[in-house]
Amino acid sequence: MFEHEREARRAHPGLVLAGVDEAGRGPLAGPVVAAAVILPENGFDLPVTDSKALSATEREELAAALRTAPGVMIAIAVAYL
């Protein structure tokens, strides 16, 4: 699942990669929320490729696992326009 990331890290030692996503519709319907996650170089076993395929309970469990996993860094920002 992380083939491109591993290739980039091999080509550029010390490179840090973050996955980024956003949700919201901006000033027309409220805030925009964005998050970035950096996984450790040795990876993280993600059991899914799309969080929308998970139930609310499964999403909460995965979020808790990410927040407590060593080497995982998470940043969240909210913009009110």
Neighbours of 15 (CB within 10 A): 11
Type of residue at 7: E
> How large is the average pLDDT for residues 56-77?
90
Is residue 46 predicted with pLDDT exceeding 80?
A: no
- Which amino acid, residue 30? G
Q: Model-level pTM?
A: 0.73
| Mean pLDDT (whole number) for 30-55 | 82
Q: Which residues contact 54 (CB under 8 A, 6 or more apart)?
A: 48, 62
